[in-house]
Amino acid sequence: MHAASDLLFRTLGDPTRRALFERLARGDALTVRALTERSGVSQPAVSKHLGVLRRAGLVEGRPTGRETHYRARPEGLEPLFGWMGRYAAFWEGRFDALEDLLKRMDQ
């Protein structure tokens, strides 16, 4: 579960990927071509980001004819919304804050 949420953070930490995922999350299945329009990113870059999103379980692709339609998988976000995923992220942040405090403390 911890590793799963790490992967999700890394995947969604990238603003372009997050924007692609949010675009798919809002509606229908879209092709790479449709996703590239208005994205401000090249088609190969969009394909690459979609591959990363797919490996993280956040999107799935369905071949239709010569093109593949991608759609968002809401269940892929579960590790972030379950308690364990939330706490894993919470404690990583608290450890950072603890190290920061230790630097400021006197011996």
Partner 1 sequence: MTKSIVVEREMPHPAEKIWRALTSPALIADWLMANDFAPELGRKFQFRAKPMPGWTGVTNCEVTALDPPRTLAYRWGDGTESDSGLRTLVTWTLTPTATGTLVRMEQSGFRPEDEAGYRGMSGGWPHILAGLERVAGTA
Binding site for partner 1 (CB under 8 A): 1-2, 9-10, 12-13, 18, 22, 25-26, 74, 77-78, 80-84, 86-89, 91-95, 97-102, 105, 107
As a whole number of angstroms, the distance between CA 107 and CA 40 comes to: 51
| Minimum distance from residue 95 beta carbon to partner 1 (Å) | 6
Q: How far is the CB of 92 from partner 1 (least distance, A)?
A: 6
Residue 28 or 99: the one with the smaller Cβ distance to partner 1 is 99
User: How far is Cα 30 from Cα 78, in angstroms, rounded to an integer?
Assistant: 23
Nearer CB in complex with partner 1: 38/102: 102
Q: Is 30 exposed, middle or buried (0-12, 13-18, 19+ CB in 10 A)?
A: buried
Which residues, in sequence order, are bridge partners of residue 30? 70
